[in-house]
Amino acid sequence: MNLPDLKKAKERTNKEVKTYKNPMYASDKFNGKKYFLRTYGCQMNEHDGEQIEAILEHFGMTPSVEMEDADVIVLNTCAIRENAHDKVFGYLGRIKHLKKERPDVIVAIGGCMSQEEGVVQELIKKHPYINIVFGTHNIHELGQLLIEANSKKQDIEVYSMEGDIYEDIPYKRASNITAWVNIIYGCDKFCTYCIVPYTRGKERSRKLADVVKEVATLKEQGYQEVTLLGQNVNAYGHDLKDGYEFADLLEEVAKTNIPRVRFVTSHPWNFTDKMIEIIAKYPNIMPYIHLPLQSGSDRILKLMGRKYTKDEYINLFKKMKERIPNVAITTDIIVGFPGETKEDFKNTLEVVDTCKFDGAYTFIFSPREGTPASKMKDETPLEEKEERLYILNEKINNYAKESNEKLLSKTVPVLLLGVSEKDSTKLYGYTDTMKLVNVKGSPNDIGKIIPVYITEAKSFSLDGEEVKESIKN
Ligand code: SAH
Ligand code: SF4
Ligand code: F3S
State residue 26's pLDDT score: 57
What is the chain's mean pLDDT, rounded? 92
Ligand 1 atom closest to Cα of 364? 24
Whether residue 290 is predicted with pLDDT greater than 70 in this model: the reply is yes
Q: What pLDDT band is residue 471 in, cutting at 50, 70 and 90?
A: very low
Nearest CA to ligand 1 atom 20: 194
Find the ligand nearest to 112 CA: 3
212 CB burial (10 A radius; 0-12, 13-18, 19+)? middle
Q: How confident is the model at residue 177 (pLDDT cuts 50, 70, 90)?
A: very high
**Ligand 1 binding pocket includes 145 (Cβ within 6 Å):** no
206 Cβ inside 6 Å of ligand 2: no
Tens digits of per-residue pLDDT, 399-440?
Answer: 999 999 999 999 999 999 999 988 889 999 999 999 999 999
Query: Is 194 close to ligand 3, i.e. is its CB under 6 Å away?
Result: no
Tell me what the mean pLDDT of segment 165-171 comes to: 88
Give pLDDT, residue 387: 98
What's the rounded mean pLDDT across residues 252-281? 97
Q: Where are the alpha helices (DSSP H) in 102-207?
A: 117-126, 142-148, 196-200
Residue 11: pLDDT band with limits 50, 70, 90: low
292 lines ligand 1 (CB under 6 A): yes
Note the pLDDT tens digit of each residue in 325-354. 999 999 999 999 999 999 999 999 999 999
Domain with CATH 2.40.50.140 in the chain: 411-466
Residues of the chain with CATH 3.40.50.12160: 19-149
Ligand 1 and 317: CB distance under 6 A: no
Cβ of 42 closer than 6 Å to ligand 3, yes or no, is yes
Q: Distance between CA 230 and CA 266 in Å, rounded?
A: 8
Proximal ligand: closest to the CA of 266: 1
Q: Which ligand number lies closest to the CA of residue 41?
A: 3
More reliable by pLDDT, 386 or 17: 386
Query: What is the spatial distance between Cα 224 and Cα 284, in angstroms, rounded to a whole number?
Result: 10
pLDDT tens digits for 63-108? 999 999 999 999 999 999 999 999 999 999 999 999 999 999 999 9
Ligand 2 centroid to Cα of residue 302, in Å, is: 14
> CA–CA separation, 46 vs 23, rounded Å?
23
> What pLDDT sits at residue 151?
58
Over pLDDT 70: what percentage of the chain?
93
The CATH homologous superfamily for domain 19-149 is Methylthiotransferase, N-terminal domain (3.40.50.12160)
Is residue 469 pLDDT above 90, yes or no?
no
- 6, 38, 39, 44, best to mutate for ligand 3 pocket (most atoms within 8 Å of CB): 44
Ligand number nearest to the C-alpha of 42: 3
Sign of CA dihedral 244, 246, 249, 250: negative
Q: Specify whether domain 411-466 bears CATH 2.30.30.240.
A: no
CA 65 to ligand 1 center in whole angstroms: 31
Confidence label for 473 from pLDDT (cuts 50, 70 and 90): very low
Q: In the predicted model, what is the mean pLDDT of residues 220-241?
A: 95
Strand bridging mode 359-364 / 328-335: parallel
Amino acid 236 reads: Y
Distance (angstroms) between ligand 2 centre and the Cα of 22 equals 32
